[in-house]
Amino acid sequence: MKANSIKDKFTNLKANKPLRQDLITYAIVIFAYLLIRILDMAGMVNSQLNGLLVPICVYAILAVSLNLTVGILGELSLGHAGFMCVGAFTSAFFSKCMVEAIPLAIVRFPVAILIGAVCAGLFGVLIGIPVLRLKGDYLAIVTLAFGEIIKNIINTINIGRDSNGLHFSMKSAMDLGMEKDGVFLIKGAMGITGTPGDSNFTIGVILLLITLFVVLNMVRSRDGRAIMAIRDNVIAAESVGINITKYKLLTFAISAALAGMAGALYAHNLGSLTATPKTFGYNMSIMILVYVVLGGIGNIRGSMIAAIILYVLPEMLRGLQTYRMLIYAVVLIVMMIYNWAPKSIAWRETHSAKDLLAKVKGVVASKSKKGGN
């Protein structure tokens, strides 16, 4: 009886292709994690790779969460780094305040991540309300502007703490008027320094799995089908009674919250957190978009793998000294063409590995036949 039900489940799994695909995605992540752990125990992971593990998780989460907006909802958002920035700063601020009150990282860090995610999600809703009235290029431009606004506002915030309590100023650090014993929590352009380094690879992988779980389940759910219906044809979706605004806002907010989670992971990995154009500007937003486009718009697993490869590549090219950024750019162009040019797609279809394998098999078979004769 029991064996029967397991068998049933197995046949179910065979029939349910999307579920199988999702399970493969989780399996890839868990397998990669175990592989690294085993190599680490064998002492085969150098500190370069060790240092890359957490950033890899951060960018994979960002790519997967942006794919929700770009691939599933079908709207081009260029403000993703802005949400990451909100998550990074709110969670780091919390950790910095609470580092003495809650000395246990295992309690403090999840709360910090939650705060980062919720704040970024709230910003997602706030920004989504006006922005999602637009679509296409207009939406892209406005999200880009919002990302920049977030970054610039954070650059002007000064918060300090002394014996009288918290002080806040948007003008300059001097205007806080703190006592001598005061410490800066956020200091304008210098951002937050000395965030406790709570991030590690295990937490990163757990967050990545959570992200995948949320996104993949959402895509397969009733809500996900509604969202994809909006992407494919707004008028048709509206005519069958789908609440366009609700679903758009929902997707946007979830995508922002996941980006905030990645931001929290990022902030707790480094000793200094500054909102420079390089870290949270539109360059970063576009970088994440590149991961998504290269991995395949709407392809969750692809965007994750693309993020990992494109993040690791310039680090692995360090041996090439100053040429590495040039080569990285060339690789980017070549990969884009290979992935998306119509001719290249056609060529890949005629020269697919399966055909090649069949050909080789054919040759081998005919040869063995000859040999037999």
Partner 1 sequence: MKTMKKIASIALATIMVMSMMTGCGNEAAVDSSVADGSAAVESSVADEATGATFKIGGIGPITGGAAVYGQAVMNAAELAIAEINAAGGVNGVMFEMNFQDDEHDAEKSVNAYNVVKDWGAQMILGSVTSAPCIAVAQKTYEDNMFQITPSGTAVDCIQYDNAFRLCFSDPNQGAASAKYIGENGLAEKVAVIYDSSNAYSSGIYESFAAEAVNYDFEIVAAEAFTEDNNTDFSVQLQKAKDAEADLVFLPIYCKEAAPLLTQADGMGYAPKFFSCDGMDGILAMEGFDVALAEGVMLLTPFAADATDDMTVAFVTAYQEKYGDVPNQFAADAYDTVYAFKVAIEKAGVTPDMNVSDMCEALKAAMLEISIDGLTGNGITWTADGEPNKEPKAVIIENGAYKAM
Binding span for partner 1 by CB under 8 A among 70-78, 132-140, 151-159, 206-214: 151-159
Residue 190 CB, shortest distance to partner 1, in Å, is 4
x/- binding map, residues 29-48, to partner 1, per CB under 8 A? ---x--xx--x----xxxxx
- If one asks whether residue 174 binds partner 1 (CB under 8 A), the answer comes out as yes
Amino acid in position 70: V
- Distance CA(95)–CA(116), nearest Å, equals 11
Q: Pick one of 19, 26, 28, 331: the residue that binds partner 1 (CB under 8 A).
A: 28
Tell me, by CB under 8 A, how many residues bind partner 1: 60
Cβ atoms of 107 and 198 within 8 Å: the answer is no
Binding span for partner 1 by CB under 8 A among 133-141, 159-167, 234-242, 311-319: 311-319
- Distance CA(222)–CA(57), nearest Å, equals 28
Give the residue from 258, 264, 255, 268 showing the smallest Cα distance to 209.
258
Number of C-alpha atoms within 13 angstroms, CB side, residue 140? 9
Residue 143 CB, shortest distance to partner 1, in Å, is 16
Q: Pick one of 19, 99, 111, 156: the residue that binds partner 1 (CB under 8 A).
A: 156
- If one asks whether residue 9 binds partner 1 (CB under 8 A), the answer comes out as no
- If one asks whether residue 279 binds partner 1 (CB under 8 A), the answer comes out as yes
Give the residue from 183, 158, 186, 167 showing the smallest Cα distance to 272.
186
- If one asks whether residue 283 binds partner 1 (CB under 8 A), the answer comes out as no
Q: Pick one of 309, 331, 332, 336: the residue that binds partner 1 (CB under 8 A).
A: 309
- Distance CA(42)–CA(259), nearest Å, equals 33
The CA dihedral of 300, 336, 33, 194, to the nearest 10 degrees, is -100
- Distance CA(231)–CA(355), nearest Å, equals 35
**Residue 189 token pair:** 């352009």
- Distance CA(102)–CA(198), nearest Å, equals 13
- If one asks whether residue 312 binds partner 1 (CB under 8 A), the answer comes out as yes
In the chain the beta strands, taken as DSSP E runs, fall at 158-162, 165-169, 183-187, 192-193, 272-273
Q: Pick one of 243, 352, 366, 368: the residue that binds partner 1 (CB under 8 A).
A: 352
Residue with Cβ nearer partner 1 (251 or 303): 303
- If one asks whether residue 324 binds partner 1 (CB under 8 A), the answer comes out as yes
Helices 201-220 + 300-316 axis angle, to 10 = 150
User: Alpha helices of 193-281 — where are they, by DSSP H?
Assistant: 201-220, 222-232, 234-239, 244-267, 277-280
- If one asks whether residue 301 binds partner 1 (CB under 8 A), the answer comes out as yes
Residue whose structure tokens are 């950790």: 95
- If one asks whether residue 278 binds partner 1 (CB under 8 A), the answer comes out as yes
- If one asks whether residue 316 binds partner 1 (CB under 8 A), the answer comes out as yes
- If one asks whether residue 182 binds partner 1 (CB under 8 A), the answer comes out as no
Within 227-266, the residues that bind partner 1 by CB under 8 A are 266
**Residue 204 token pair:** 């990163």
- If one asks whether residue 169 binds partner 1 (CB under 8 A), the answer comes out as no
Residue 94 CB, shortest distance to partner 1, in Å, is 19
- If one asks whether residue 198 binds partner 1 (CB under 8 A), the answer comes out as no
- Distance CA(65)–CA(63), nearest Å, equals 5
Residue with Cβ nearer partner 1 (195 or 255): 195
3-class secondary-structure state, position 20: helix
Residue whose structure tokens are 């999840």: 110
Binding span for partner 1 by CB under 8 A among 2-10, 134-142, 193-201, 234-242: 193-201
Residues lying near partner 1 in the complex (CB under 8 A): 28, 32, 35-36, 39, 44-52, 55, 148, 152, 155-156, 172-174, 188-191, 193-194, 197, 266, 269-279, 281, 301-302, 305, 308-309, 312, 315-316, 318, 321-322, 324-325, 348-349, 352-354
